[in-house]
A = this chain, B = another copy of it.
Amino acid sequence: MNNSHSSKRGRGRPKTFDRERAIEDAMRLLWQRGPGVLSVNELCGAVGIAKPSLYREFGGEDGLVATVLECYLQTRTLPLLDELTQDLPMARLVNGLANWLVTPSTDPAGCLLAKTRSTLDTLGPKTTAQVEKMKQTQRAKLTAWMQRAQNNGELAAGLDPTIAGRFVDTQLTTLLMLAAQGEPADLLKAQTTLAFSGLTNR
């Protein structure tokens, strides 16, 4: 509850465990390898924490993955969605997305949420709930975006914004997976353009 910096120190041995640091490190590892593939043992070894620390802090693998996903949502998904769903001409945004997809980053490639979903059945209830929450959040944002696009007359005629939002959701995930597979930049850009070309009037 209290770290070295917050409130006056309690009674026992002071904590050296850096929670934020552990979450960040675990996120990068899980992002690369995927939860359900990377074992708790391996993860603890790589992050440099003792297994009991993990269980004390996060309650187990399930709790850790759920915590990591929340961190991922806040620091990666939401910023990306906010960037993408501004009220600018859609062509501009799609182009921005395409460029973002091919821009090198210090982050691992691909989508942690997608990787988690692919092995969800081997993970715990907290993770499942967190995934569900993230799915809803993402869809809500994208649907709202499409709703505004419709109001601006940008959406193709007769297209339900809910359907369009769901479509963008899956396309986004697919594009992130393609990027993770190391597809060349020009192909990635072409796929992005093509994926969104059905949404707008031409």
Q: Which residues of A contact B (CB under 8 A)?
A: 33, 36-37, 118-119, 121-122, 159-160, 163-164, 166-167, 170, 174, 178, 187, 190-191, 193-199, 202
Residues of B within 8 A of A163 (CB): 187, 190-191, 194
Q: Which residue of B lies closest to A177 (CB)?
A: B170
A195 touches which one: B118, B159, B164, B198 (CB < 8 A)?
Answer: B198
Q: Which residue of B lies closest to A197 (CB)?
A: B198
With A37-B122, A119-B119, A198-B197 already in contact, the answer to whether A191 and B170 are too (CB < 8 A) is yes
Q: Which residue of B lies closest to A183 (CB)?
A: B166
Q: Smallest CB–CB gap between A9 and chain B, Å?
A: 44
Q: Which residue of B lies closest to A181 (CB)?
A: B117
Q: Do residues A178 and B170 form an inter-chain contact, with CB atoms below 8 A?
A: yes
A198 touches which one: B164, B178, B194 (CB < 8 A)?
Answer: B194
Query: A159–B160 Cα gap in the complex (Å)?
Result: 27
Q: Which residue of B lies closest to A164 (CB)?
A: B194
Q: Which residue of B lies closest to A170 (CB)?
A: B174
Q: Which residue of B lies closest to A163 (CB)?
A: B190
Q: Which residue of B lies closest to A190 (CB)?
A: B163
Scoring A163, A191, A194 by chain B CB atoms within 10 A of each residue's CB, the highest score goes to A194
Residues of B within 8 A of A197 (CB): 197-198
Query: A195–B36 Cα gap in the complex (Å)?
Result: 30
Scoring A119, A159, A170, A187 by chain B CB atoms within 10 A of each residue's CB, the highest score goes to A170
